[in-house]
Amino acid sequence: MCNCEKENGNENVRYRACEEWNTHPQLGRYRCYGILCESYLPGHGWRTEQSISDVTDSAEDAIALALLMQQGNLEPCHMHDVVEDFVNSI
């Protein structure tokens, strides 16, 4: 998927689209895509800071959203607002 990274002060932050499989009583099993926000800790590797599940059923849309967040130097504290705006726009 998307493997975008940016420098955010002294830490690396990246946003990624991630494939998920969910089960819903009425829909059954379905594939969807979420967004991850990860930070890099030297000596420890990448750590998930936040994740939002089941954002879209389109891999292309999820990748585009992760890239937009990355290129916009989005601070992690605004991730939920951006995803909410994205979902409301489709």
Going residue by residue through the chain, which has 90 residues, state the pLDDT in tens, using 9 for 90 and above.
Answer: 444 444 444 358 999 999 999 999 999 999 999 999 999 989 999 999 999 999 999 999 999 999 999 999 899 999 999 999 999 998
Contact by Cβ (8 Å): 34, 17? yes
Supply the pTM of this predicted model. 0.81
Runs of H (alpha helix) within the chain: 59-71, 79-89
Q: What is the token pair recorded at 83?
A: 């995803």
